[in-house]
Chain A
Amino acid sequence: MAGTWVYAETVEGTPKPIALELLTKARSLGEPTAIALGPGALKAAEALGRYGAKKVYVHEDPAFVEVLASPAVDLLARLIEQEHPDLVLFGMTYEGRDVAARLSARLGTALIANATDITRKDGGLAVVTPVFGGSMLVTTAPRAKAPTLVLLRPKAVTAEPAGSSGAPSLETLSDPVDTGKPGARVLRREKEKASGPRLEDAAVIVSGGRGLGAPENFKMLDELAAELGAAVGASRAVVDAGWKPYAFQIGQTGKTVKPTVYIALGISGAMQHTVGMKGAKTIIAINKDPEAPIFKMADLGVVGDVHKIVPQLIQEVRARKGK
């Protein structure tokens, strides 16, 4: 039986944005079934239904959040053997990657990572992944037995609720989770404090690159971001230099963002960076080098010095807000 499954990550009863993105994509490929694991999974089922899940498997055992990957792999392997889906979608996230990769080894099936699109074509699957910093797109077809496991990049798809759909049919599982075998156990979770919107959710992003010259110059970005209700992002050059933590990094090996407005300050616009932000509706770039590649994709580019322009911009914004 063909079927499209979604490994739906949830936090405390709410689906993560990636789960809704996956369901939106899954709807175009078949009638999605979602698998939600861990405490709160049941509560999340309704929202999963709104985004198109026809059926939701839930299992609320805390082991699914306390032990990395293995309990989820055990359960998925068992369900897959029973139901034979031909496609299982995961988010290219910390959790999705570990679960999907282990599962592919368990089942001996195809794992296609980093996908940005999936279609059914001539009875088979076609999975698109960007390579070389997103400058080329490769289409891959699975050649192994079902199911094909695909890791979809966050923000590759815009989550949209399904038009009309009743509540999903629920299957609540309660079979014991094997926690006897050696596993990776989470002892505690540390949240690093952040102010303002999250990068992934922000409508406006103010992002800084090596052109800022020094870590302390990010202060003016914080100020500008505060005025605009924006989140602050960074290039990898800045993260590698230790000016900003990894959580700020946008690009191939960092986050993918799709804000309404992306303001790139002192960022050259290397492919590996732009692959993470070229989905922005509008791009504004300030760079002192008129040849900087970022200008090839900016809706408004200003050739100039960030140290001069950014402080002025903060004043201009304040003036327009009537401050």
Chain B
Amino acid sequence: MNVLVCVKQIPDPNTPGKLDPRTKRLVREGDLVLDPGDEHAVEAGLQLVEKDAGEVTLVSMGPPRALEAIRRGLAMGAHRGILVTDPELENSDALSTARAIAGAIKGQQFDLIICGTESTDGSSGAVPAQLAELLGWPLLSFAKKLEVANGKATIDRQTDEGYDVVEAPLPAVVTVTGGINEARYPALRGIMQAKNKEVKQLALAEIKLDGQVGKAALTQEVVEVAPAEARKAGEVIEDKGDGAKRVADFLKDLKVI
């Protein structure tokens, strides 16, 4: 089975980026990492090919340094990578990203594409569904469990009340939630091996695209950035044995009791 996993490089969520109020662009300070959500996608792909046979290919669209995110996935055990990188793709929106990825894999055979449900920095959760639509494949979204057998993928799809069991014929796109697995930590051996694994870099000229991408295809523009209104603090008291009583009195005033 051939699995493609979409991986995105993002600013370390523990030291988040800032939005430059002047240029209205994301200022990427500090470390860049493989999106932790996508680590679960890589893990899900690896588990599938370890169970049956096959290989995991990683694809990322981003600046040249996004190679580091791909290397991380390769160190986890993925077999090869594709990096779609081109100055024209800078500041791409989700649809451009999906088009670039769809273009980059044209002509290659994949049974399954696995993505995170949403990126930790962008959190639109749009790219996987757009990719599925561009390819004409079914989308199995919000998977907290994934099984592949007999040419079909079956997931437990998270819902508000519990989960739905949903099935689709291959090839399909799957998005995985953080709960689906425990992502493995790359071992030293994996890190060493990753250095020799093939990562194909593709510029736009080398891709057959359906539709425009990048600046020419921007569907939206940020026009204003402003701080959100903050709530005001009320009274803060120290518990001297009467904290519970004070809270209960307050709840009574609020007519909750």
Q: List residues of chain B with CB under 8 Å of any chain A CB.
A: 16, 18-19, 24, 93-95, 98, 118, 123-134, 136-142, 144, 154, 156-169, 172, 177-179, 211, 218-228, 230-239, 243-248, 250-252, 254, 256-257
From A19-27, A55-63, A93-101, A165-173, the one touching the partner chain is A93-101
A–B Cβ pairs within 8 angstroms, 24 of them: A94-B159, A105-B98, A108-B219, A109-B219, A111-B94, A111-B124, A126-B224, A132-B19, A138-B24, A140-B220, A143-B220, A144-B218, A151-B124, A184-B166, A187-B154, A189-B164, A189-B165, A240-B178, A296-B230, A301-B233, A302-B243, A305-B239, A312-B244, A320-B257
C-alpha spacing A309/B250, complex, angstroms:
14
CB-based contact A113/B125 at 8 Å: yes
CB-based contact A185/B247 at 8 Å: no
C-alpha spacing A94/B231, complex, angstroms:
29
Q: Which of B161, B164, B237 contacts A188 (CB 8 A)?
A: B164
C-alpha spacing A190/B159, complex, angstroms:
9
C-alpha spacing A121/B238, complex, angstroms:
48
| A183/B168 contact (C-beta < 8 A), A94-B141, A204-B256, A309-B239 known | yes
Across the A-B interface, the 3 shortest Cβ-Cβ residue pairs: A304-B239, A101-B129, A312-B244
- Contacting B at CB under 8 A, from A137-156, are 137-144, 151
From A36-44, A79-87, A246-254, the one touching the partner chain is A246-254
CB-based contact B254/A282 at 8 Å: yes
CB-based contact B124/A303 at 8 Å: no
| A301/B234 contact (C-beta < 8 A), A102-B130, A113-B126 known | yes
CB-based contact A191/B161 at 8 Å: yes
C-alpha spacing A218/B222, complex, angstroms:
42
Which residues of B lie under 8 Å from residue A260 when comparing CB positions? 254, 256
C-alpha spacing A123/B178, complex, angstroms:
41
CB-based contact B219/A142 at 8 Å: yes
Find the B residue at minimum CB distance from A282: B254
CB-based contact A144/B237 at 8 Å: no
Confirm or deny: A114 has a beta carbon within 8 angstroms of a beta carbon on chain B: yes
Q: Which of B19, B126, B164, B247 contacts A302 (CB 8 A)?
A: B247
Confirm or deny: A131 has a beta carbon within 8 angstroms of a beta carbon on chain B: yes
Interface centre among B137, B163, B237, B256 (most CB of A within 10 A): B256
C-alpha spacing A182/B168, complex, angstroms:
7
| A303/B239 contact (C-beta < 8 A), A105-B98, A298-B233 known | yes
| Extra inter-chain contacts (16) besides given A143-B220, A300-B246, CB under 8 Å | A94-B142, A102-B133, A104-B126, A105-B134, A130-B228, A135-B228, A151-B124, A181-B136, A185-B167, A228-B257, A246-B177, A299-B234, A300-B234, A303-B238, A313-B244, A316-B244
Which residues of B lie under 8 Å from residue A47 when comparing CB positions? none
C-alpha spacing A123/B121, complex, angstroms:
31
Q: Which of A112, A135, A247, A310 contacts B220 (CB 8 A)?
A: A112
C-alpha spacing A73/B248, complex, angstroms:
51
Interface SS of B by simple majority: mixed
Which residues of A lie under 8 Å from residue B246 when comparing CB positions? 300, 302
Which residues of B lie under 8 Å from residue A187 when comparing CB positions? 154, 164-167
CB-based contact A136/B225 at 8 Å: yes
C-alpha spacing A68/B143, complex, angstroms:
13
- Contacting B at CB under 8 A, from A270-311, are 278, 282-284, 286, 290, 295-305, 308-310
Which residues of A lie under 8 Å from residue B239 when comparing CB positions? 286, 302-305, 308-309
C-alpha spacing A215/B95, complex, angstroms:
41
Which residues of B lie under 8 Å from residue A130 when comparing CB positions? 228
CB-based contact B142/A184 at 8 Å: no
C-alpha spacing A132/B95, complex, angstroms:
22
CB-based contact B235/A299 at 8 Å: yes
Confirm or deny: A53 has a beta carbon within 8 angstroms of a beta carbon on chain B: no
C-alpha spacing A44/B157, complex, angstroms:
25
C-alpha spacing A186/B136, complex, angstroms:
19
Which residues of A lie under 8 Å from residue B129 when comparing CB positions? 69, 97-98, 101-102, 105
C-alpha spacing A91/B134, complex, angstroms:
22
Confirm or deny: A2 has a beta carbon within 8 angstroms of a beta carbon on chain B: no
CB distance from B117 to the nearest CB of A (A): 9
Interface centre among B166, B178, B225 (most CB of A within 10 A): B166
C-alpha spacing A151/B234, complex, angstroms:
33
Find the B residue at minimum CB distance from A73: B133
Interface centre among A100, A131, A317 (most CB of B within 10 A): A131
CB-based contact B140/A144 at 8 Å: no
